[in-house]
Amino acid sequence: MASSNADTFFIATPIFYVNDVPHIGHAYTEVAADVLSRWMRQSGIPTWFLTGTDEHGQKIMRTALANGVTPREWADRLVEQSWKPLLKTLNLANDDFIRTTDERHETAVKKFLTLLHDKGYIYQGEYEGFYCVGCEEYKPAADVLEGEGEFQGSKLCAIHSRPVEVLKEENYFFKMSTFQQDLLDLYANQPDFIQPASVRNEIIAFVNRGLDDLSISRSNIDWGIEVPFDADHVTYVWFEALLNYITATGWGTDDEAFATKWPAVQLVGKDIARFHAVIWPAMLMAAGLAPPKKVFAHGWLLVGGEKMSKTNLTGIAPTDITDVFGTDAFRYYFLRAITFGSDGSFSWEDLSARYEAELANGLGNLASRVIAMVHRYREGVVPAMPEASEADQAISRVMADAVAAADTAMHNFAPHEALAQLWRIVESVNGYITEQEPWVLAKDETQAERLDAVLYTSLDALRALAVTLSPFMPATTEKLWVGLGADHSLGALHDQTIPEAGSFGALPASSAIAELAALFPRIEQDS
């Protein structure tokens, strides 16, 4: 098997199905992966971030035909007009964007199929079962419900609440059942392979019930990658789509590049955890490749108590939020308000309240008042730090502890906890300024050194916040960094190392600070 690359961080989102435009549920996954990759990269860890689009399968073929275009035309339109623009809307710093219609993907998929066929893991047979077009998956009996109301007498997909189809066709099968014990051994030997624990337990229970072989081809559609040993079949969309994680990294085309990147951390929604934690590692085992480092399944975004869905008219476009509150507020809100790994409810009221309280009145007001006071009392120059009082030392301890705790949280895939830790700095410094009353100190020349200490302590805390919050809010923190004059005194923000950010006293004295516009402008609310 390939080496583990323990000292690298490769994170991949699921590749998103281009049957429709993206909603904030898709954006949530993208932002989480981006923040994690930025944090690891700024911690000095070689990092690679992959995202992309899944473009084959029956659902896309039917949607394209309904819109009077070819499947390729439909996929191209959605990718270029909706999915790639999402990268800019969310300010993502991905290293690659793969499409399953890319030649590099098709070439490697055919090579992978041939490898497994030659090794005896693929055979031809007949299959009959309940098929959900929405899932692009044959559904086991446990995932099929009896229809009610308008669907009385029908069988429904438990995820989509839509009727399934009964399909019977000759397919090629992958001997997934062969790997049942290997998978259970993987889960036992690597307890953190599947996270969170609730999903891990579900996956283990599923595999313990026994695995069936997997149908991996379709003969009733022609929109897909041709099976290399049978031109009458195309590859099952889920089987070939999973391969994007290695086809994008060079497997089958650039072995050297692949060896430096794989294996990946797979960030997925919990509804597709089974594909990534069962089918995918079994495929890799069959090919003699290392499984992913980790499969982390985050929860659903709920709107009105329902899973985010265009079908159910609960989909909200990311631009509906970013056009009002800005991209950084979007990125902050979803990773602060929702416990990562659990379901979370979105509401406009909560977003607005957090924007005002935590961003505008919390961080934004802190930055504005500190920089304004340095201009007012010290002509825009960072003062030297005199001997620290207990109050000053208390802030330095909060900085060190919060940054260390945030770093631990991020390595544990808990961005919500990391932000909670960093906000301890915001709240502590706001309280510190209120207690120290620098506006009073400024009126007494005998308190000049004390005023210097308060101003320097506050400025250096803002420096630490700019560095550690930059993965979450890259545009806002860049404005703060420039406002602190740190771009001239310390260099580029992205070159600052996060684990060292909590060390007090890094901001050079005597350096000039700039003016700072409001980081989070007030939002006019409709009455």
Residues serving a catalytic function are: 23, 26, 132, 135, 157, 160, 307, 310
d(CA 274, CA 171): 21
Break the chain down into helix, strand, coil percent, rounded to 5: 50, 15, 35
d(CA 2, CA 12): 18
* H helix intervals, 326-447: 327-337, 348-354, 365-378, 390-411, 415-436, 438-441
d(CA 145, CA 154): 9
Contact 72, 5 (CB under 8 A): no
Amino acid at position 327, single letter = T
Q: Kindly list the distances between the CA atom of residue 341 and the CA atoms of 211, 267, 301, 350, in Å, as whole numbers in the listed order.
A: 26, 10, 11, 19
Report how far Cα 289 is from the mean position of its chain's Cα atoms.
25
Q: Which tokens is 499 given?
A: 């684990």
Contact 104, 253 (CB under 8 A): yes
d(CA 262, CA 84): 24
Say which residues have a Cβ less than 8 Å from residue 394's Cβ, sequence separation at least 6: 428, 432
Contact 448, 375 (CB under 8 A): no
Q: Kindly list the distances between the CA atom of residue 111 and the CA atoms of 91, 191, 240, 494, in Å, as whole numbers in the listed order.
A: 35, 32, 11, 39
Contact 321, 330 (CB under 8 A): yes
Count of CB atoms within 10 A of residue 175's CB? 17
Concatenating the DSSP letter of every residue in 256-277 gives: HHHHHH-S-EEEEEGGGHHIII
Q: Which tokens is 336 given?
A: 């602060």
